[in-house]
Structure 1
Amino acid sequence: MGHNWGLTAVFLAALTGCGTTYELPSVGDDQNARASRMFAEARADTSRATLSTSSAEARFNRVSQRVAPVGRSTCEQMLADRPGFNCNVDIQIDRQMTDRNAYFTYKSGAPVIRVSMPLLQDTGSDDEAAFVISHEYGHLIGRHIEKQQQQMVAGALILGGLAAAVGAQGGGGYNRDLVNAGVEIGATAGGVAYSQSYELESDTIGTRIAHSAGYDPVVGARFFARPEAAQTTQGQLSFWGTHPPDEKRFATVLATVDQINANVGLKRTAK
């Protein structure tokens, strides 16, 4: 039995070992040091004022109008090998969402980005709002929703099959409860397998989009250092629960900007 669950660990390691479509930039000591300093400065900054609803809406309109065409053209260029891929994103304020949040998803098969009014009111600059929206474009271009769905199916099949094997080897024959538990755990594990690499890939792509749209992604990334509870009042994960603040993310943005300044393009992974 121990041997089979050891195999499970191997399979789950395989699920988490790859996944990005594009190569993440190499981060050096200098970038890590700069990121650590900037992260600490951003976290210590208490001067941010809450925008009025009208000012936040004006910021959204101003920024989204500049980011959207760049996001679309970047998507079309990077996914030119996928004919028919829909890069026409509907970007709007989600006025029903009361928490500080932003997300990318599909509605009726069409890609959408939604940003809540509280999050917009909390942004300290147009650069921050631009980085948030550009980051969500990264999830579209990285095809993260599709990949997570594939990983959930793969994880469920792997653990469900191993659970069945464990039951058979234990002499108990087919154990429905054990198999169902394996399927459920496997689907969950597969669904979150790439969460960290997905976020870094979205940061990498988002940095390029924000920069091309005329914003400073390094200033924009300060938004991600904001301390915030992961759980909202409704018990759901907030923006900082699904987009965890991390010095590594700052370092990735800095490394991407260095690539841009050196005219180094984004490369696909070998996979």
Structure 2
Amino acid sequence: MKQVILAAVSLALAGCVETAPPQSAPLAPVPVAEAGAPVSPEVAAANFVSVVRRMEPVIEQECLARRAATNCDFRIVVDDRPGQPPNAYQSLDPAGRPIIAFTLPLIAEARNTDELAFVMGHEAAHHINRHIPRQQQEAATGAILLGVLTAATGGDARAIETAQDIGGTIGARRYAKDYELEADALGTVLAWEAGFDPERGAAFFARIPDPGNRFLGTHPPNAQRIDTVRRTLVSLR
């Protein structure tokens, strides 16, 4: 059961700002602020270091102020494994310390510090809003309910296990799009408090495929995410 829950949550949270386009997803233009031209590897590396220095204390301070997460000692790392797509993600180490990881292709893909700051704020917001434990609970509930229903209708052990897999995935994905929008809103606040321009940072969405509004999809439409950033900024300005 634990493996079912962890697999479902990993599927729902992995690659929450991934830029590698799926084969079936068209690239939809979204009107946002000009992002600028691609930067050199040297500039990309300097931008990342600068953003970490400015964002990390703001992220940890906000985490402590909200008293939502049990551990606010963030560790920001670079995932330098070969062959990784442009991606950033949030996870927890075995001790429960929050990890924010950026792959090298994402650091290279970012056009400016505002984009990196917005992505970093978004990933930190997943932890501050306790999205991983919340999805674990939802996955567990889904797995148990569908497993019990399958057993009650005469399903054998294999059918029950399959039902738990499906129920865990459905449970984990039930609020996945809401969690992404929550992370976009709080990520906007974090980037703003660190002195970055979140709207310019959201230009990132203009270069990734629009997932649309699929049933049980893991990500909301790009336009909805940009609108969330803009509405959040109205309350900050």
Matched, 1:226 2:211: no
After TM superposition, where is structure 1 displaced by more than 4 Å over at least 4 residues in a row?
Answer: 241-245
The TM-score, its normalising length taken from structure 2, stands at 0.78
Which digits, 9 at most, give the CA deviation of each residue in 1:150-209, with x for residues without a partner? 111111100001111222xxxxxx522322221111011112222100100000110100
User: How far off its partner does 1:242 sit?
Assistant: 6.0
How many angstroms apart in 1 are the aligned matches of 2:208 and 2:220?
Answer: 9
Query: For 2:103, which of 97, 116, 120 is the aligned residue?
Result: 116
Alignment partner, residue 15 of structure 1: none
Equivalent residue of 1:215, what SS? coil
What is the DSSP-based 3-state SS (H/G/I as helix, E as strand, rest coil) of the residue aligned with 2:31?
Answer: helix
| Equivalent position of 2:73 in the other structure | 88
Q: Which residue does 1:183 correspond to in 2?
A: 164
- Kindly provide the amino acid, as one letter, of the partner of residue 224 in structure 2: K
Letter of the 2:71 counterpart: N
Against the structure 1 CA distance between its residues 58 and 245, is the aligned structure 2 distance closer, same or farther, given a 3 Å change threshold? Answer: farther
Pick one of 60, 74, 98 that aligns with 2:48.
Answer: 60
Partner of 1:192: 173
CA-atom RMSD in angstroms: 2.3
Matched, 1:258 2:234: yes
Q: Distance in 2 between matches of 1:242 and 1:115?
A: 19
Q: Which residue of 2 aligns with 1:72?
A: 60
Question: Among residues 30, 41, 61, which one is paired with 1:40 in the alignment?
Answer: 30
Q: Contact conserved, 2:80 with 2:104, CA < 8 A, in 1? A: yes
Structure 2 residue aligned with 1:150: 137
Q: CA, structure 1 residues 200+229, in 2 after alignment: closer, same or farther (shift >3 Å)? A: closer
Deviations 1:106-148 (A, max 9, x none): 1222111011121111112111110000100110111111111
Match of 1:3 in 2: none
* TM-score (norm. length: structure 1): 0.69
Q: 1:214 aligns with which of 186, 189, 195?
A: 195
Contact 1:56 1:117 in 2 (8 A): no
Q: Structure 1: how far apart are the matches of 2:177 and 2:108?
A: 27
SS class of match (1:128) = helix
Alignment-derived partner of residue 20 in structure 2: none
CA distance in 1, matches of 2:72, 2:36: 37
Structure 1 residues 230-262: Cα deviation after superposition (integer angstroms, max 9, x where no partner): 8xxxxxxxxxx965651000111111111123x
Question: Partner amino acid for 1:59?
Answer: N
Query: Residue 36 of structure 2 contacts residue 111 of structure 2 at CA under 8 Å; is this kept in 1?
Result: no
